[in-house]
Amino acid sequence: MEITSLFKKEIVSNGGKLMAKQRRFAYTSLTPILLYMGLFTLFPIVWAVVMSFFSYTPIREGSGFLGLGGANPFIGIDNYIELFTGTSKPAEVFRLAVKNTFLFTALVLPLNLIVTLPLAVILESIGERFKTLFRAIYFLPTISSSVALVIIWSYMYAPGWGMLSLMFKAVGLVPPKSWLQDPNTVYFGIPLAMLCVVVAHVWQDFGYNLVIFVAALQSIPKTLREAARVDGANTWQEFWLVVVPLLSRTVLLTSVLTVISSLQVFVIFQLLTRGGPKNQTQTMLLSIYENAFKFANNLGLSAAMSMILFIIILILTVTQFRILRTEWEY
């Protein structure tokens, strides 16, 4: 009995030492990550929220914490009121940028899904020998440098001698005078420059959703599709009545990711159009950048713009989850 009791105590003691080692390992591993997240993620978010309530610019020396107060006074929600109702040029341009950003997102989302879902089905139907090759080809633009891709598209859209202009001339059509800087060319109420940026962005971005859809298609049990064929379903009926409903959760994921990324596109607008012509491609992120660093150095107003963008993303994400969510699994 004494030996058994000593053995139990030894087990409890070793177990306690093991738990202590595991806790120390967890603390040691998580502390650097938490410090990094707090310094480079949480603090900038909190700082942006606080700064949006101040008339803050780094060229003025404030009297309070991190330059807040004094020459950078607290103004409450005046920045937000200015953005929604003000008559200053930054406020008017920002309201136009909100409309342009929504238009861009509304064009990118359906076009991306229309391209990626059928293409994923096609890729899954080809032989195993070429499947990996085509996946790599279609995913290559996604992992390539955005600046390099913009340079390629700038040559594509070059007026007169660009590839698109030459293709138009080859089939007897008259190309636009300028693909990216003609403010008067509008199709169905959408400026030509905006359409050009949409095409370039979808070409760069669709590979990401394509990989997600391919993975989702592989997870669908083959027995379900075989049962549909036994019941007499043709290829279209199998796709529309079996595959698409089973991909509803994947469609939700890709829709949310596409909307979030579309609302935050910056590089392609900055390098292709710089918001032109006549602010037809001005976006919210461009307005935030220009007011913060390029023109006015008004970081307080830019912080308010950032908070509005954050709220828009949050509302759209929650709305998508509520509309597209499903209550079943397979």
Query: Whole-angstrom Cα distance, residue 99 to residue 282?
Result: 9
Query: Whole-angstrom Cα distance, residue 21 to residue 122?
Result: 52
Q: State the pLDDT at residue 138.
A: 84
Tens digit of each residue's pLDDT (9 = 90 or more) over 163-183: 888 998 888 888 888 899 888
- Token pair recorded at residue 176: 């636009």
Of 255, 264, 254, 258, nearest in space to 101 by CA: 264
CB 157 within 8 A of CB 185: no
Amino acid letter for position 33: I
pLDDT means per 10 residues, the chain with 330 residues, are: 52 62 80 86 89 87 76 90 91 95 96 91 80 82 86 89 88 86 89 94 90 88 82 81 86 92 92 90 93 82 94 93 71
Half-sphere exposure of 200 (CA within 13 A, CB side): 29
Q: State the pLDDT at residue 100.
A: 96
Give bridge partners of residue 89 from the DSSP assignment.
none
Give bridge partners of residue 187 from the DSSP assignment.
190
Q: In the chain, helix, strand, coil percent, each to 5?
A: 75, 5, 25
- Token pair recorded at residue 69: 């107060």
- Token pair recorded at residue 209: 């959703």
Query: Whole-angstrom Cα distance, residue 210 to residue 131?
Result: 13
Q: What are phi and psi of 108, to 5 degrees?
A: -70, -45
Question: 274: exposed, middle or buried (C-beta count within 10 Å: 0-12, 13-18, 19+)?
Answer: middle
**What pTM did the predictor assign?**
0.87
Q: State the pLDDT at residue 328.
A: 59
DSSP β-ladder status, 190-191 and 186-187:
antiparallel
Q: What are phi and psi of 186, to 5 degrees?
A: -135, 135
The total of other beta-carbon atoms located within 10 Å of residue 145's CB is: 9
**Angle at alpha carbon of residue 94, lines to 89 and 98, rounded to 5°:** 155
How far from the centroid of its chain's Cα atoms is residue 260's Cα?
4
Query: Whole-angstrom Cα distance, residue 21 to residue 25?
Result: 6
